[in-house]
Amino acid sequence: MRRRDSKPESRALFMTRGLASIEETQRLGNGLPAERVIAMLDEKLRLARQMKLLTMKKARAHFPID
């Protein structure tokens, strides 16, 4: 069970680490544009959906409903 009084500290630590990470990425110049990240995630989702559909089709071939 979480303690309520630790939540603000956890949130502050999360924000501090996130901002430090952003600053480091900007300093190093090794970040990815948001559009590229979104495109990569879209492709990953498309492939996962395709695999799920193929799995469902294979299962249906073993147990035809019609």
* Residue with tokens 């680490």, as numbered in its chain: 17
The C-alpha atoms of residue 27 and residue 22 are separated, in whole angstroms, by: 9
Q: What is the pTM of this model?
A: 0.56
At 10-55, the pLDDT tens digits run 999 999 999 999 999 999 999 999 999 999 999 999 999 999 999 8
